[in-house]
Amino acid sequence: MNKTNRRELRGRMPRLETAQPEFRLMAHGGTDVGLRREVNEDSFLMLPKNGLWMVADGMGGHAGGQVASKLTVQTAGTSLVRRLHAAEQDARAQDARVNVPRIMDDAVREACSTVFDTARVQPELTGMGSTVTVMMVYGSVGYFGHVGDSRAYLVRDGAIHQVTEDHSLVQEQVAAGLITPEQAKVSVMRNIITRSIGFERDVKVDTSALPLRRGDRFVLCSDGLTGHVEDDEIRDIVQHNDCRRAPRLLIDLANSRGGEDNCTVVLVSVQGRRGRQRDKRNKI
């Protein structure tokens, strides 16, 4: 999905204010069709005012994949912002906490049912689906929601950590001790995912949370990156390059090694704490 389409998606998002993160954040992203595909079936979304970023990798043929990833980020993004806004209002009225993982789970599952229902009424889209990886910063915590094999990484203190775990056949084999991580990288079954948006009407969403620290950098990406670029290479490029340049450098590196798939990268950088909070009544 090109930048024009990405701006159109942002324009359709609800313009609802939610609590500002306690950290100043900078984010940049990019996507590329690669060298072997005719169309780009990836989508990404960046809503910095709501502390929300998302990457989705569509599947199910040219039309199906594009529709599935676009519906996924549009529906999940819209639902998440609306649900969060409503939860904040309820929390203020009742002096309660905002349950961000539950909100994220509900929003991603809503996207799943939307993609599934759309395929049922449009036969040409039968079998379409998508991965999704969501990051939302609320207060001083980064929350993640995940379905499929798109990934989120944290680069901190010179090390890279994979935040999400792939929902894939080879990852299950690695976890069971049947193959090694090195064998998984070259397995003929490495592209088979075991969980996705839209293949069934509901889906189990993995959620997690990490307290933020100044200097943290988070990478959200489709497997068009991780299929060609090693984790330590991602770490090095993210550490030693400006936040604006790093996504493009990672995409270019993937393309230089064959570019067999669409490649999307979103980089979120934690700059430091804000001097003044807009609304301290919101609790995490």
Assigned CATH for 3-273: 3.60.40.10
Q: What is the pLDDT of residue 17?
A: 85
Where exactly are the structural domains of the chain? Answer: 3-273
DSSP state string for 151-217: EEEEEETTEEEE-S---BHHHHHHHTTSS-HHHHHH-TTTT-BS--BSSSS----EEEEEE--TT-E
pLDDT of 3 over the 60 cut: no
The residue among 271, 267, 155, 156 whose CA lies nearest residue 219 is 267
pLDDT of 89 over the 60 cut: yes
pLDDT in tens, 186-244: 887 888 899 999 999 999 999 999 999 999 999 999 999 999 999 999 999 999 999 99
pLDDT in tens, 63-75: 899 999 999 999 9
Residue pair 12/78 in contact by the 8 Å Cβ criterion: yes
pLDDT of 178 over the 80 cut: yes
pLDDT in tens, 115-165: 999 999 999 999 999 999 999 999 999 999 999 999 999 999 999 999 999
Q: What is the pLDDT of residue 282?
A: 42
| Least confident among 5-14, 187-196, 274-283 | 274-283
How confident is residue 270, by pLDDT bands cut at 50, 70 and 90? very high
The structure's pTM equals: 0.91
Q: Average pLDDT in the 76-83 region?
A: 96
Across 188-206, b (16+ Cβ under 10 Å) vs e yields eebeebebbbbbeeebebb
